[in-house]
Structure formats: structure tokens, C-alpha cells
Copies of this chain bind each other. A is one copy, B any other.
Amino acid sequence: MSNKIYFTPGPTGLYPTVPQHIHKALEDDVCAISHRSKKYEAIHEAAVSNVRALLGLPANFHIFFTGSATEIWDRTLENLVEESTFHLVNGSFSKRYFETALELKKNAKALEVPFGEGFDLKTVEVPAGTEMICLTHNETSSGVSLVVDDIKYIRQNNPNAIIAVDSVSSVPYPKYDWSQLDTLLFSVQKGFGLPAGLGVWVVSDKCIDRSIALQQKGKSIGSYHNLPSLLSKAKVNQTPETPNVLGIYLLAKVGEDMLKRGVDTIRKETDTKADILYNTIIKSSVFEPFVKNYEYSSKTVVVANTKILPSEVNKVLSEVGMQVGSGYAKYKDTQLRIANFPGTSVEQVEKLADCLSKIC
């Protein structure tokens, strides 16, 4: 690994311990292990139990692996919805989840607010009878977050709906109350700092029951990655297909490293680092926070308007071996996206902030 520090929102830089884990995996021939062997099952079990501990997941939730978080959008829609979904759309990824539902021929409706704005979950009105409500906790495109503690209002007002949360670029930071949601999805190339190519799907028993009910009605809920299939293999710490064994091994190892560090420590450091970054861009004459409402400002993906091209900013940062992300899609020349993931330290963020504050 080079010594460059990546503050890019994903794929991001590798979690610092990943190279040593990859070397050990090569030494131990992890890639040659059969996915039907006891050795694999031990790796799988370690990955699941470490993620479970990091998320504080109760026993009525399961963890399954897919090829990407994008795949999980599909799978939630296939397994949990016969007809109707409702989406809170405030950026490119929440919009893509909504569009996926339309492509899969669901009766999908959305409440959309402008890019950079958030939602007051207390007042969101969901059409009666909606089967699944899709929330994007952290909009990687715009840097807007939902208030985690307010998900309870969505639950209170829609007790029968499945509540699905896309937490791609925020896990393991948010502390969820698992009684308030039913399924959560994320990928590993963001907060976990792992090589891309693995999605993690967290699913409650309520979701399993819903998918079985759909199946019993004669609906297609997909094949190898439908929930009954995933569950039956997960019970023996396996997957239906040959999975990304190396990715699951690395998730187990980095999960262990994070648990040793402590998830509360990771959360506190994330807060500290976010404060440093926001304070820096607030004071800057070149940058300013894009999200105006601080309550909705992401702690893990800080988005700043910039008067200087991101490529120019990165030219300056490259002198200290650092790189930030540019804005998403049409904002690529006018915004920065600065990832604040567990893989970077307070000291590194201070160095980044110092460098950014000198750009004027």
C-alpha cells in the first residue's frame, strides 16, 4: 500500500490493517478454501458475528452477503414487496433506489426534496397501505443524513410497512434502534475500508416471513438470493453461490480490529473528525458547507461547495499525500466530497484540515 491517505467517498482507501490481512490470507491459502468446508464456515461465522457485534444487532436479525449494495436494492424489492413502495429521495442514490423499484414494475412513489436538503421524519406522510418505505440514511451524493433517532416516527405512523434503510456510506457510525427498522444494507468499500465487491444485507425475521408469504402466493422472489435460500445457507455459515471468500475474510478481520478499537470510540472519533472538517470549511473563503441545515449534515461524507476546481485542490493535497473526492455527477467541478470513515485518524484529518485551510 502506498502511504497516500484517501478521503474519497468510495471506494475509499483501505483500512490500515487490510494489507497485513491480505498477506496472511495468501499465506493461509484462504482463496483456495472450498466454500462448503468447515474452514470457510469459520470465516463466515467470524464475519457475521463481528458485524453483528459492531451493529449491536438483536437475535431476530440475520446477516447475508451479496455482490454489492446495489444488488440489495433489487433483492429488498423482489423479496419484500408485492406492489407498493415509498421512497424518500434527496440525492442520486435514493433516487436510484426509487428508479430500481419502477424498473422492477413496482408501484413506487417518492417524496423528493432538492439536492442538499433533508427530511423531517416526524412529518413525512406515507400513502396508506405502502408495503415498504425506503430510507437512505446517508446520501453519498449530497452529504445529507437522516436523523437516526427520528426513524421511530416513520415506524409509529406506518406500523405494518417494512422499513428499509440504505446505510451504504455510514455504517458502522449510526447507532440504530433495531426495533424501528426491518432491513439495512451497506457495502464494504466505504466505512469498512475494504476492497469493493461485497454487499452486506441485514434482515429481520419479519422480512423472512414477508418473503415466504409472497412465495406462497406464487410470486417470484428471485432464486439463489431470495431470503429463504440465503437463510437456509446462512444457518450453516455458508452462501448459496461461491461467494467473495477473500472479501468475507477481510470483513471478519477488520470487524475484529474495529471491535478491539471499540465502536463507541469509532463513533466519538467520527464526531471529532467531522467537527474539524466542518469548522474548517465554515471558516474558509474558498469552501462552504453545501448542506445548510447542520442537523442533516452527514458525519461520514462532508460535502463542500468549492470555488476552486477539485482537481486543483487535490494537486495541493497531493503534496502532503492526501486526496479528497470531487462532487457527484454534475457537481464534480463545484463540490468536494470528503469521506470521514473509520480508516482515517484524527491526526490525519487535522493535517487535511490544516492543508485545506491554507488554500485561499
Nearest chain B CB to A315's CB is how many angstroms away?
16
Q: Choose among B29, B68, B105, B187 the residue that contacts A6 (Cβ–Cβ < 8 A).
A: B29
- Cβ contact within 8 Å between A243 and B2: no
Flag whether A70 is at the interface (Cβ < 8 A): yes
- Cβ contact within 8 Å between A100 and B224: yes
Can you tell how many copies of this chain the complex includes? 2
- Cβ contact within 8 Å between A220 and B1: no
Identify the 9 closest CB pairs spanning chains A and B, nearest first: A67-B67, A197-B244, A70-B241, A103-B223, A68-B241, A31-B195, A100-B223, A195-B246, A6-B32
New A-B pairs, 16, CB < 8 Å, besides A22-B22, A67-B241, A70-B242: A1-B26, A2-B29, A4-B32, A11-B31, A11-B242, A12-B32, A31-B189, A67-B244, A68-B242, A69-B241, A69-B242, A73-B223, A99-B223, A103-B222, A104-B220, A196-B243
Q: List 26 A-B contacts (CB under 8 A).
A: A1-B26, A1-B27, A1-B29, A2-B29, A6-B32, A10-B242, A11-B31, A11-B32, A11-B34, A11-B242, A12-B32, A13-B29, A19-B26, A22-B26, A67-B68, A68-B242, A71-B225, A73-B223, A99-B223, A100-B223, A100-B224, A103-B220, A103-B223, A105-B220, A189-B242, A196-B245
